[in-house]
Amino acid sequence: MKKYLQKLDTLGLVLLVAAVIWYSVTDTWGKGNLGLAIAGAALFVVGIGANYRQIMASLGKRSTKYATNYVVSLLLVIAIVAGLNFIGQRHVKRFDTTGNRQFSLAPQTLQVLEKLEGDVDIKAFFPGGDYAPLRDLLVQYRTASRRVRYEFIDPDRQPDVARKYDVSVYGTFQNPLTGTQLKYGTVVLAYGDRREKIEKRSEEVQEQDLTNAIIKVGRSESKKVYFVQGHGEKDPSDTEQSGYSQARKGLEDQGYEVEVVNLAAEGTVPEDADVLVIAGARTAPFEQEMGFVADFLQAGGGVLLMTDPVPAPSHAAFLQPWGIRVDDNVVLDVSGAGRLMGAGPSIPLVLEYDSHPITERFDAMTFFPLTRSVRPAEEKPEGVTVETLFRSNPNSWGETDMSTPEASFGPEDLQGPLPLAVAATREIRAGTEDAPGLMARLVVVGTSNFAIDAYFGNQGNGNLFLNMVSWLAQDEDLISIRPKQAEDRRILLSQSQLSVLRLVTMFLLPGIALVAGILVYLNRRRK
């Protein structure tokens, strides 16, 4: 019996090592590996006790001392390596040298992951149970937050799991242009009792897909954004170049519900509205309609008012109590910066932004086709705070005479830089211990054209629009730079260029190395 007890220390060590390996794979101390570790420790102690006399008798021997030093040194090295590996896993550092930060997560993604209060479980259903491009992306999410867990599942080998999550979209897709094949599948995200599904048939699952899905499952309730209609405003269901369908999609991807409302027909702003968007009315609304908007603001709502240049209405009477002035002009930019976008002077380009939550960490270029200047009024109403968001560059002015074909700076024009958008707040009710404070928020932009479908995806225009709505909805945690599509930066070479490249790499460079080697060899022989 004693002979078997003396071997338990070895068995205990084996079980302890197995428990550590199990933990390194799963990254969790579950019942299985924890029980294995406890059993291993117990067996090791029993084995040491059974071998106590032999251990004490051998301690005085020289060979034992050398062996002990060797074992201690080995354990110390293993401990140091394990510690460095543990620290490396918890504090991963990645270096992205690509021009567009292709292998780095966007600031908004990092911001969303940082604010996770629970675990996000991601299940990727792909043929074969793996897909390298998506796995690389999920590794970045896992590295950024320990709250993110993921696993790949082959729907054909585990059909019961696929049925449980209602997965039917997966397979392979062949690109008709390049002939390359890619896998497509379904990604299911779970956060508590809420789920979100990403289904892609002919394109990769991108960072924005995952981040938007995490935002959706992280919301306990959906907020509603209403677009006002009835006076020629931009339509969120219009898919033409001048429509707002991309803006609608961007909002829905962020978890907002988007509806339209005709205030004249409804007689009020819907009770479930969180944000009201007035995107470029062509005719002046009724005074009573703007009264409904004012009442909505007084109740703590958020309004995004985008007013185009003349002949579009300026909403001056509505904006006066807010200390905002809309100028009757068109801002012209003669700095030449607009040439970067293939634009003329009627499309001012904005490169710098004032300090405000909407533009915090925002460094992308934006441009504003046919915009008028919007600025804080000289007389500020009591209790209202008006802040400029961004301005045109110094080589610009506000042209007031639109009757002449060639514009020039005149005495009645405003010299740049000119504010193009402002944000205003008014405290409706101060916060107390029993009830939170209530704040009305208003953003006014001098044009509605910057967020139309033709420009929404260009530079930072779409991000800026979404930031405005997020701030108005009091969702400051969503304000940042959103993920972008990866750029295709392939170099296309002509047949002659390919021939030159082949000649240089296959013959010229190896030939130079060969000649240099022969010369060195001959030189040494002479010596």
CATH code for position 314: 3.40.50
Q: Is residue 334 part of a domain?
A: no
Residues 55 and 203 in one domain: no
How many CB atoms are closer than 10 A to CB 360?
14
In a domain, 485, yes or no: no
Q: Is residue 343 part of a domain?
A: no
| Candidate ranges 401-415, 428-442, 454-468; pick with highest mean pLDDT | 454-468
pLDDT greater than 80 at residue 266: yes
Domain boundary residue, one of 90, 115, 143: 90
Q: Which residue has the higher pLDDT, 62 or 473?
A: 473
In the chain, count H helices and then E strands: 17, 20
For residue 97, is it within any domain?
A: no
| Mean predicted confidence (pLDDT) in 126-137 | 88
How much of the chain, in percent, has pLDDT values that exceed 70? 77
**Cβ within 8 Å of residue 69, ≥6 positions away:** none
Residue 268 and residue 193 in one domain: no
Estimate the crossing angle of helix 245-253 against helix 461-472, to 10 degrees. Answer: 60
CA angle 328, 334, 338 (to 5 degrees): 100
Confidence of residue 413 (pLDDT cuts 50, 70, 90): confident
In terms of Cβ atoms closer than 10 Å to its own Cβ (0-12, 13-18, 19+), residue 324 is buried
Contact 470, 481 (CB under 8 A): no
How many domains does the structure of the chain reveal? 4
Give 180-228 as a 3 state SS string. Answer: CEEEECEEEEEECCEEEEEECCCCCCCHHHHHHHHHHHHCCCCCEEEEE
Nearest to 130 by CA among 166, 157, 163: 157
Where on the phi/psi map is residue 232: left (φ > 0), alpha (ψ -120 to 50), or beta?
A: left
pLDDT at 168: 87
User: Using CA atoms, how far apart are residues 417 and 402, in angstroms rounded to an integer?
Assistant: 20
**Range with the lowest mean pLDDT among 90-99, 245-254, 468-477?**
90-99
Concatenated DSSP letters for 367-379? E-SS---EEE-SS
Mean pLDDT of the chain: 82
- Using the 3D structure, point to which of 212, 245, 266 is the last residue of a domain: 212
Between 96 and 285, the more confident residue is: 285
Note down the domain range covering 39. Answer: 2-90
29 belongs to a structural domain = yes
Task: Give the CATH number for residue 162.
Answer: 3.40.30.10
Please state the pTM of the whole predicted model. 0.64
The confidence score (pLDDT) of residue 362 equals 82
Helical H segments across 51-147, by residue range: 52-58, 62-90, 107-114, 132-144
Helix axes 132-144, 107-114, angle to 10 degrees: 60
365 belongs to a structural domain = no
Instruction: State residue 383's pLDDT score.
Output: 87
By C-alpha distance, which of 369, 290, 364 is closest to 333? 369
**Domain identity same for 428 and 306:** yes
Q: Mean pLDDT across the stretch 46-73?
A: 61
Q: Is residue 278 located within the same domain as residue 387?
A: yes
472 and 498 belong to one structural domain: no
- Based on the domain organization, do 306 and 379 belong to the same domain? yes
What is the model's pLDDT at position 244?
95
Same-domain pairing of 201 and 322? no
One domain for residues 27 and 136: no
Contact 216, 255 (CB under 8 A): yes
Angle formed at CA 147 by CA 146 and CA 152, multiple of 5 degrees: 90
Domain final position from 188, 212, 236: 212
- Distance CA(209)–CA(106), nearest Å, equals 12
Q: Are residue 319 and residue 438 in the same domain, yes or no?
A: yes
- pLDDT score recorded for residue 459: 80
**Does 81 lie in the same domain as 10?**
yes
Any idea which residue has 């985008």 for tokens? 306
Q: Is residue 298 part of a domain?
A: yes
Together in a domain, 307 and 436: yes
Hey, is 423 helix, strand or coil?
strand
Cα angle for residues 167, 214, 23 (degrees, 5° grid): 80
Predicted pLDDT at 224: 93
Whether residue 412 lies inside any domain: the answer is: no
Coil/strand/helix, residue 46: helix
Residues 297 and 244 in one domain: yes
